[in-house]
Structure 1
Amino acid sequence: MRNNNALIILGMHRSGTSLLTGLLSQVGVKMGKSLYAPQKGVNEKGFWEHEDIVDTHDELLLALRSQWDDLLPLGDEWWKWDIVQPFADRLSNLVNRDFSDAYAWALKDPRMCRLLPLWFPIFTSQGARATFICMNRNPFEVVASLQKRDGFSKEKALVLWLSHSLSAEFYSRGQPRIFIDFDQVVKNPAQVLLKIEQEANLVFPISVKQASEKIEGFVSPGLRHHKADASLEHMHEGLSSMAHELYYAFNKLAGENEGSYESIDSIAARFMAYRNNWSLELVEQIRYLNQERADYRGKFFRVYHSWSWLLAKPVWLIEKLLRKY
């Protein structure tokens, strides 16, 4: 069997990517050395995000004067800019450190929807055979989740969903990929895993049958905090209409894994026109806020990686642990 099979999970924040990645861990897919801890009320079963890789993504976005919830697109061919290369080198080293000897490994970070062009040379240099798993969830459920967790407006949440979803589809088009519907993951997780195993042309280290009890135990009704009926949203214009159409276009791909991309390209063109119609004042305000947040978070990362923080970190961790008791 060929080593270094990479399963790259693509999907907007709150789209069920954590659930799918956690299921992959139940069948022996490797996740890396350090993962972000679960968070009560947000992701009780874990985020399943590689801490060092996500931090690198965050720092890269800051260097590009952006962040995960930026409403503006990144610059043209940003991945070719000189400022990006050190981050690409760091990511390549992390993949080599954690996955060079892995038969099957997975990487999940919603930021990859926008940062995917940076990764193709990394997969090549590391000899990884990447299969992209595109997670599709009702956008109005994602909106409800972002409104509750982050206090976003409906409009901002829809712009983010469309931006992430369209970017992930565009950058992964022509690559080996699998479209997965969130509802199917909840209803029949074992069948979804079998589909991934077959279409990615690999054999999980632990068979789906062998892991069946863990799989069923991992998916619980309480994991779904929001349920929406997208069929009612098509009557609305603008962002809601675009989100509704894109969701069903992806649903069709999840069922057939093939089809015409004309409707998706049409939605992408409408979304670009919508964003291009923003006033100069709005765009400048967004850029100003991006700069403010980039400066603030840049200072945080410098402190976080400093020797003084690294020396004090064990003390902070012990204090945090003691507070629980």
Structure 2
Amino acid sequence: MTTRTAYLVLGMHRSGTSAVTQLLSLAGAELPANVMPGDEHNEKGYFEPWKVALLNDERLRAGGSAWDDIFAFPYRPLPRKDERAWINRAMALMGEEFGQARYPLLKDPRVTVLLPFWRTALADLEIDARGVIPVRHPLAVAGSLRRRDGFTEQKSVLVWTAYMLAAEAYTRDLPRAFVGYDALLSDWRAQVKRIEAAHGAPLPTLDERAAGEIDKALAPDLRHNAGAGDLAALGWPGELAAAVLAWFEAAARDEAPSTAALDAAAAELSRRAADMAPLVSPTARDLDEARSELRETKAAVGVLEDTLKRDREVLEGGWRATIQRLDQHREILRAVEAQLDAILAEGGP
């Protein structure tokens, strides 16, 4: 039986996950059937399985959380029967999106904070997993989220911290590679060597043709937000993010830092959550549900507008055809009338 291996791109939104996913997909990992297209925030595309993203949003809300909940870490399991139902949905969706792909490529940032759930689904499908975790300065991520979502820097760096803690904690027993975002854009070949060494296996099909495509894809113009500024100036959220960033930057340099610093950061986040999560998390969940309903309403309006446009075109087309036929009949009638008039003028046949 052929072993199937999933490549998991883990980390926060806007942190370089799209660039890593593009690299892996060009090197032979297989994208899902339905991926999110590009927009004004990311012209090259997100490479995210949008159906998986919808399921993940639902699952987060079921646990009283949301993708932008600063306390989305640690994972919140549901009662066993409920959890099993969600796992079954995830397994079915993997089949729909990837079929029997040997190297499915799963990139949705929400997977990061839901990884215990997704790892169970993958294990039940007998799919191994390898992780790639891009490392980008949280202030660069915050700049992007400020423009896209209007988030404050404090909120963005806390969400980034939660995602990065989850990415590390939930992959400690997996083959994984930490990849600096700037280093990836500067010399992706060196980063591929690091990924392959960390995974203990080559990327599926990294040939010369793929290398040429990657050269075009990973251009320096992807650096839309430089990571600059003093995290400490953001108070405790910045101090927490700075400690986490230092660990990940060291890991991306292959320095094998102790996880004690991350465990301490996770403990501090949990301490804050004990005081604030009952207020913050339900609000994040409710806002996410409102955003979801708004997206669905916009989609429904769009479908209705398209339907009305098509119906109008069909009706107008029918009217035009009817008018054209009437004009033709009028011409025939005029010709007949002219013939009758000619016959009458001649006194009959």
TM-score over 0.5 for the alignment? Answer: yes
Superposed displacement of residue 66, structure 1: 2.5
TM-score under structure 2 length normalisation: 0.78
CA distance in 2, matches of 1:213, 1:222: 17
Identity score, percent? 26
Find 1:240's aligned residue among 238, 251, 255.
238
Superposed displacement of residue 257, structure 1: 6.5
Look at both structures and tell me which one has the larger radius of gyration over its CA atoms: 2
CA distance in 2, matches of 1:294, 1:51: 16
Question: Is the alpha carbon distance of 1:266 and 1:284 closer, same or farther for their aligned partners in structure 2, counting shifts above 3 Å?
Answer: closer
Question: Is the alpha carbon distance of 1:99 and 1:253 closer, same or farther for their aligned partners in structure 2, counting shifts above 3 Å?
Answer: same
CA distance in 2, matches of 1:162, 1:113: 12
What is the correspondence of 1:11-90 to structure 2 with a 5 Å cutoff?
11-40=11-40, 42-73=41-72, 77-90=76-89
| CA offsets 1:141-168 (integer angstroms, 9 cap, x no match) | 1111111111111111122111111122
Retained in 1: the 8 A contact 2:196–2:202?
yes
Gaps of 5+ in 2: 311-349
Question: Is the alpha carbon distance of 1:295 and 1:102 closer, same or farther for their aligned partners in structure 2, counting shifts above 3 Å?
Answer: same
Please, which moves more after superposition, 127-136 or 14-23?
127-136
Question: Is the alpha carbon distance of 1:237 and 1:149 closer, same or farther for their aligned partners in structure 2, counting shifts above 3 Å?
Answer: same
Retained in 2: the 8 A contact 1:3–1:104?
no
Q: Report the residue type matching 1:284 in the other structure.
A: L
Retained in 2: the 8 A contact 1:11–1:135?
yes
TM-score under structure 1 length normalisation: 0.83
Superposed displacement of residue 205, structure 1: 3.9
Superposed displacement of residue 299, structure 1: 8.6
Secondary structure of the equivalent of 1:179? strand
Q: Report the residue type matching 1:63 in the other structure.
A: A
| CA offsets 1:223-267 (integer angstroms, 9 cap, x no match) | 11111236x435764121221121110111122263311111112
Residue in structure 2 matched with residue 323 of structure 1 by the alignment: none
Please, which moves more after superposition, 42-51 or 204-213?
204-213
Gaps of 5+ in 1: 320-325
Secondary structure of the equivalent of 1:61? helix
Superposed displacement of residue 183, structure 1: 1.4
Question: Is the alpha carbon distance of 1:314 and 1:32 closer, same or farther for their aligned partners in structure 2, counting shifts above 3 Å?
Answer: farther
CA distance in 1, matches of 2:34, 2:186: 29
Secondary structure of the equivalent of 2:104? strand
CA distance in 2, matches of 1:217, 1:259: 34
Question: Is the alpha carbon distance of 1:124 and 1:235 closer, same or farther for their aligned partners in structure 2, counting shifts above 3 Å?
Answer: same
Question: Is the alpha carbon distance of 1:174 and 1:203 closer, same or farther for their aligned partners in structure 2, counting shifts above 3 Å?
Answer: closer
| CA offsets 1:162-212 (integer angstroms, 9 cap, x no match) | 111112212222222211111111111122223323432334343254422
Superposed displacement of residue 315, structure 1: 3.9
Question: Is the alpha carbon distance of 1:80 and 1:199 closer, same or farther for their aligned partners in structure 2, counting shifts above 3 Å?
Answer: farther
Question: Is the alpha carbon distance of 1:74 and 1:9 closer, same or farther for their aligned partners in structure 2, counting shifts above 3 Å?
Answer: closer
CA distance in 1, matches of 2:306, 2:143: 38
Q: Report the residue type matching 1:287 in the other structure.
A: P
CA distance in 2, matches of 1:17, 1:254: 15
CA distance in 2, matches of 1:133, 1:186: 15
Q: Report the residue type matching 1:174 in the other structure.
A: D
| CA offsets 1:114-142 (integer angstroms, 9 cap, x no match) | 11110122111211110111221111111
In the alignment of these two chains, the number of paired residues is 310
Retained in 1: the 8 A contact 2:74–2:113?
no
Please, which moves more after superposition, 159-168 or 202-211?
202-211
> Does 2:294 match 1:290?
no
CA distance in 1, matches of 2:309, 2:30: 28
Residue in structure 2 matched with residue 121 of structure 1 by the alignment: 120
Superposed displacement of residue 35, structure 1: 0.4
Residue in structure 1 matched with residue 157 of structure 2 by the alignment: 158
| CA offsets 1:74-128 (integer angstroms, 9 cap, x no match) | 7874144433333321210122334353232211111112111101221112111
Residue in structure 1 matched with residue 92 of structure 2 by the alignment: 93
CA distance in 2, matches of 1:32, 1:236: 39
Secondary structure of the equivalent of 2:133? strand
Residue in structure 2 matched with residue 271 of structure 1 by the alignment: 269
CA distance in 2, matches of 1:242, 1:285: 18
CA distance in 2, matches of 1:60, 1:115: 8
| Aligned-residue CA RMSD (Å) | 3.1
Secondary structure of the equivalent of 1:7? strand
Q: Report the residue type matching 1:244 in the other structure.
A: A
